[in-house]
């Protein structure tokens, strides 16, 4: 199982002794970024017979799916109102999002196959814990064979690679994974310095935060630039092009030391409460919870007096019902959805220091503002 979206303590300990003092060199075996129009022009398939607009499936594995990789495309595409969007899980029941939150999907893969034999028009595959599960890979391959545009977010690229969908294509993924992906998939051209890469009927993205620009690129391809710009404006997104500088993203001795120190902090660790109620902004909550759960000093929990709450755009969330004395409770964020991450990083810097906020942004592959 791979979780490049959350760097493990074993990796950190090894890196502390092995890395140079300031930075890591560019990932070997990757290209700096394609210039060809074929790699950047996104075309979505014509909706299948009987549909007036595309049907988009955002896939989740119940045992572990990255929080914002799943929630952001769902929320952005729902907000755009240019497609029908379904959250689909591999099994019935609760989906454990990583590193925070629990949700329920609209339907399962088996139910979707029974009700929609023609398949999705667009399939979005987030990073998941289980990247080589045969039934999961077979389902993704089947959707591609039925004509779906397949989009991986962050380390969802492992699933596409294991399903054979990246062979002889250009692709990208989280900065932490590119070297190993190149090693195991030499027939793929792995690309740096692009937020997202398109090669025929496959789209891949860099780290976790690339889910926002990639989702807006899909809106543009479906309904045009005006629709994408309007959606971006409502969400508080200033730019969403493929441009990306990969150079700042890498482990260094200093960053590793910050993570290890946080894990071993004398002051211990805490749970940060993110209050939710019906109509909550799932994009803002996901960004906030994801960031606070990557400090190595805290984990985030959505809390409510209700057993289940429905988000602004229709996602069903299973909160922690009651708070515990002494837990930090965040003020409910009411700003633009996408700017919640900037606010979270500012608050993390205030509470734990700028170096910890930097380490969180590193994991999310979020450019410095």
Q: Spell out the domains of the chain, with CATH numbers in brackets.
A: 27-235 (3.40.50.880), 253-364 (no CATH)
Positions of E strands within the chain: 30-31, 55-60, 65-66, 84-89, 94-98, 102-104, 107-108, 122-125, 149-152, 170-171, 189-191, 196-199, 202-205, 270-275, 298-303, 309-310, 316-317, 328-329
pLDDT of residue 332: 75
Predicted confidence (pLDDT) per residue in 246-275, tens digit: 999 999 999 999 999 999 987 778 999 999
Give the count of beta carbons closer than 10 Å to the beta carbon of residue 299: 16
Report the distance separating Cα 275 and Cα 211, nearest Å: 24
DSSP 28: T
Nearest to 45 by CA among 36, 54, 34, 32: 54
pLDDT of residue 203: 98
Give the count of beta carbons closer than 10 Å to the beta carbon of residue 307: 8
- Provide the whole-model pTM: 0.91
pLDDT of residue 32: 64
Report whether 280 contacts 311 (CB < 8 A).
Answer: yes
User: Pairing relation of β-strands 309-310 and 122-125?
Assistant: unpaired
Say which residue the tokens 């027939």 belong to: 187
Report whether 105 contacts 165 (CB < 8 A).
Answer: no
Nearest to 231 by CA among 278, 180, 184, 283: 283
Q: What is the largest CA-CA distance in the chain?
A: 61
Phi and psi, residue 201, nearest 5°: -95, 25
Report the distance separating Cα 228 and Cα 148, nearest Å: 21
Report the distance separating Cα 332 and Cα 334, nearest Å: 6
Report the distance separating Cα 54 and Cα 56, nearest Å: 6
Intervals of the chain under pLDDT 50 = 1-5, 13-28, 35-39
Question: Residue 179, exposed/middle/buried by CB under 10 A (0-12, 13-18, 19+)?
Answer: middle
């Amino acid at each position: 199982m791979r979780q490049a979206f959350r760097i493990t303590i074993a990796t950190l300990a090894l890196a502390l002794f092995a890395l140079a003092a300031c930075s890591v060199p560019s990932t070997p075996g990757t290209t700096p970024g394609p210039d060809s129009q074929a790699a950047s022009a996104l075309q979505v398939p014509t909706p299948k017979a009987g549909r007036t607009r595309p049907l988009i499936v955002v896939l989740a594995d119940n045992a572990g799916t990255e929080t914002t990789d799943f929630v952001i495309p769902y929320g952005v595409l729902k907000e755009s109102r240019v497609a029908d969007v379904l959250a689909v899980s591999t099994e019935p029941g609760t989906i454990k999002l990583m590193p925070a939150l629990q949700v329920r999907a609209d339907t399962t893969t088996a139910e979707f196959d029974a009700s929609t034999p023609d398949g999705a028009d667009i399939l979005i595959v987030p990073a998941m814990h289980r990247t080589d599960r045969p039934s999961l890979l077979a389902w993704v391959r089947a959707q591609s064979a039925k004509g779906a545009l397949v989009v991986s977010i962050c380390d969802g690229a492992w699933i596409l690679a294991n399903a054979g969908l990246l062979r002889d294509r250009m692709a990208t993924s989280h900065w932490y994974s590119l070297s190993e992906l190149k090693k195991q998939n030499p027939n793929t051209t792995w690309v740096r310095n692009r937020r997202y890469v398109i090669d025929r009927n496959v789209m891949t993205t860099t780290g976790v935060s690339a889910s926002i620009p990639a989702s807006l690129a899909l809106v543009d391809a479906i309904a045009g630039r005006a629709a994408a710009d309007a959606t971006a404006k409502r969400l508080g997104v200033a730019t969403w092009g493929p441009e990306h500088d990969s150079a700042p993203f890498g482990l260094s001795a200093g960053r590793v030391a910050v993570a290890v120190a946080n894990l071993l902090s004398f002051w211990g660790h805490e749970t940060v409460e993110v209050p939710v109620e019906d109509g909550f902004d799932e994009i803002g909550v996901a960004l906030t919870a994801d960031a606070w759960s990557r400090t190595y000093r805290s984990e985030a929990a959505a809390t409510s007096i209700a057993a289940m709450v429905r988000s602004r755009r229709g996602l069903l969330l299973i909160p922690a019902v009651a708070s515990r004395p002494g837990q930090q409770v965040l003020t409910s964020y009411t700003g633009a959805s996408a700017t919640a991450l900037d606010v979270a990083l500012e608050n993390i810097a205030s509470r734990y220091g700028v170096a910890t906020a930097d380490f969180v942004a590193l994991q999310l592959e979020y450019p410095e503002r």
